[in-house]
Structure 1
Amino acid sequence: MSVEKNIARLRRAKSTRAHIRNLGVARLSVLRTGQHLYAQVFSSDGSTVIASASTLQADVKDGLKSNKNKDAAAKVGRVIAEKARAAGIEAVAFDRSGYRYHGRIKALADAAREGGLKF
């Protein structure tokens, strides 16, 4: 990824996070790398991580052919929804971190919705 693309992505993420901060709800944040996908649910003030899931975790890796495809993203979405609901979180704001709502990001969001989270 070129430096310019990353700067543009971070600029988009900054404006989204400012809007989410005004909403005052928990935030489901996603980080996408070439090899893995990470998801975290932050409290409404952003100070604590309530739940987290990634393709590095053994329970997520089980049965996956690859860590970097839509199937892996969907599994991360299901796990993060399960952990967030166990912590008492029903509704979140989806912070896609400036990534396009497409591919792995969309697969994660759809699986989290199916898991019971409301965006």
Structure 2
Amino acid sequence: MTQINKKYIQRKKHARIKNKLKISSDRLRLAVFRSNRHIYVQIIDDIKGTTCASASTLDKSLISEGQIIKNNCEFAQKVGKLIGSKAQKKGIAKVVFDRGGYIYHGKVKALAEGARESGLEF
């Protein structure tokens, strides 16, 4: 398969998932984007069209002095914990998990587990 076909298939999956989430719930959406180098997560209010909270591996609070950012499960779990703590500060307890067309495995799963550990329900 070429790269174009893979992206097309992923976009179709993401649109299908997003439509199901919009129909089934009026909760905020926890959206995940994964690139080759980093992982990003946002809590989005689809009704207002705003981002309530966001976190990524680029946040300075995740890395200590001299540590290199890696796109692995360990950092994905840290990002999940960070988004959970930011959500709790804003009074958000329940969200719907939007995996963005990615398979619920590896980094995406680690991020979800980190968010659950810090108090988010989905």
Same fold (TM over 0.5): yes
> Which protein has the larger Cα radius of gyration, Structure 1 or Structure 2?
2
Match of residue 107 from structure 2? 104
Contact 1:21 1:45 in 2 (8 A): no
Contact 1:61 1:67 in 2 (8 A): no
Q: Pick the aligned partner of 1:69 from 62, 68, 72.
A: 72
- Pairwise mapping of residues 1-119 of structure 1 onto structure 2 (< 5 A)? 2-22=3-23, 23-45=25-47, 47-62=49-64, 65-119=68-122
Distance 2:115 2:68 in 1: 20
1:62 to partner: Cα distance: 2.6
Matching residue's letter, 1:117:
L
Number of equivalenced pairs: 119
Percent identity for Structure 1 against Structure 2: 37
Matching residue's letter, 1:34:
N
Distance 1:3 1:51 in 2: 31
Contact 2:41 2:56 in 1 (8 A): yes
Structure 1 stretch 41-50 or stretch 99-108: which is displaced more?
A: 41-50
- Please, which runs of 5 or more residues in structure 1 have no aligned partner? none
1:6 to partner: Cα distance: 1.1
Q: Secondary structure at the match of 1:93?
A: strand
Could you list the per-position Cα deviations for residues 20-65 of structure 1 after superposition, in whole angstroms to 9, with x for gaps in the alignment?
Answer: 1121110000000000000000114251100000011110223755
Query: Structure 2 length as normaliser, TM-score?
Result: 0.91
Query: Structure 1 length as normaliser, TM-score?
Result: 0.93
Q: Secondary structure at the match of 1:101?
A: coil
Structure 1 residue ranges, 4+ long, deviating more than 6 angstroms after superposition: none
Contact 2:41 2:55 in 1 (8 A): yes
